[in-house]
Structure 1
Amino acid sequence: MGHGGHGTRWTGSPLGTAGGYTERYDLAHRGRQVSELLVGRHAVLESLRARRRHYYRLWLEGDGQTAPKGSLAEIVQLAHKINLPTRHVEGGIFDRIRRAQLNPQGVALETGPFPYAELDDILSLASRKSEPLLLVLDHLEDPRNLGTLFR
């Protein structure tokens, strides 16, 4: 993926805080398939740990000459385990992310869309529990409110 090349059309918006970011775009080399770009060490690491999506490419900021440390090392290790193509870049996609006033923390992950469950499947699963609890939220504006609801 490039920064303006390869038929990239950006249509995203921030979906969270604390370094996580998702941006949707259409890549010419994938036809009409929509991908998401996860940005930030925590968002990328948790996605790779969960393995619920299709993964296309991992971008790491820099020239690749320095060994990654901490959470970035774990990200690289998980990417290697699933044979995820990894590209080291300077500027490019990371400059674009920063122009959106976000901190990519040196990592971006191109993924397929999140695989949401169908409502009928959720209701069926809930009906099998002795005391099911189903919480449905719409237009949650403050993520801290979700924590309050869970407590």
Structure 2
Amino acid sequence: MENTDIIYGVHAVTEALQSAKVNKLYIEENLRGKNVDHIKILAREKKVSLSWTPKAELNKMSENGVHQGVVARVAAFSYADLDEQLNQLKEKTNATLLILDELTDPHNLGSIARTADATGVDAIIIPKHRSVGITPVAVKASTGALQHVPVIRVTNLSQALTKLKAANFWIFGTDMDGTPYDQWNTNGNVALIIGNEGKGIALNLKKQVDEMITIPMVGHVQSLNASVAASVLMYEVFRNRSK
């Protein structure tokens, strides 16, 4: 990965400024409004240089993403380390980890991170290969949540699950046949696997799952979008623990 990344959009850039992660700020020339004023104040406070930039140049920098007239150059995304995260969570008895098995859509990743932040998920685990990473599109879709939820990238998900089991995590998967999610016992440390958008959870990972969870459906479509399914299940864990 290069030493810098591009992020864009008002929320993502604002969060990055507040986290002191912006190296350079670009705002569309002649753009005005409360959001711009707020971003300018943050940039001044954090001593970030600002460049008034033509819209065409911002389109190019964001690869025609919906940048809302605001683009920033930030330090390359720093992935968390699995062993360090498990060490931090070892005293916790109700930790929640989300494992994304080869998701390919950055919008799904960003949306999932947004809900993970809202429901207190401790970290997200993704594989290094055949999977979307933290891209500008994912950061934009997360509306800044990826500044707050640790993302762990591992070479081998199966080995990661073995470590999680050794750290007293229960491993759950999502499947058409399983325990209905409203009967799911979410006590203890929970690690939930969300499968690939088309193939679902890989067979080798299914063998390591302690219990499959299903979301009942009565319509003609037999599967939910990955980010929607993840959100339903994250909120079920959150609901149970908020009682």
Bin for the TM-score computed over the shorter chain: 0.5 to 0.7
Structure 2 unmatched runs, 5+: 112-226, 236-243
| More contact order relative to length (CA 8 Å, sep ≥ 6) | 1
Q: Where does structure 1 differ by over 4 angstroms across 4 or more consecutive aligned residues?
A: none
1:129 corresponds to which letter in structure 2?
A: K
Pair 1:78 & 2:42 matched: yes
Pair 1:132 & 2:216 matched: no
Structure 1 unmatched runs, 5+: 1-23, 25-32
Alignment equivalent of 1:57, drawn from 12, 20, 24: 24
Q: Which has the higher helix share?
A: 2
Percentage of pairs with the same residue: 24
Q: Which has the higher strand share?
A: 2
Alignment equivalent of 1:149, drawn from 233, 237, 242: 233
CA shift, 1:147, in A, is: 2.4
SS of residue paired to 1:103 = coil
Equivalence map 1:15-54=2 (5 Å): 33-51=2-20, 53=21
Pair 1:118 & 2:81 matched: yes
In 2, the alpha carbon distance for the partners of 1:90 and 1:133 equals 44
SS of residue paired to 1:135 = strand
TM-score by length of 2: 0.42
Structure ID, larger Rg = 2
2:232 corresponds to which letter in structure 1?
A: T
2:9 corresponds to which letter in structure 1?
A: G
Pair 1:108 & 2:71 matched: yes
TM-score by length of 1: 0.64
Let me know the Cα RMSD of the aligned residues.
2.3
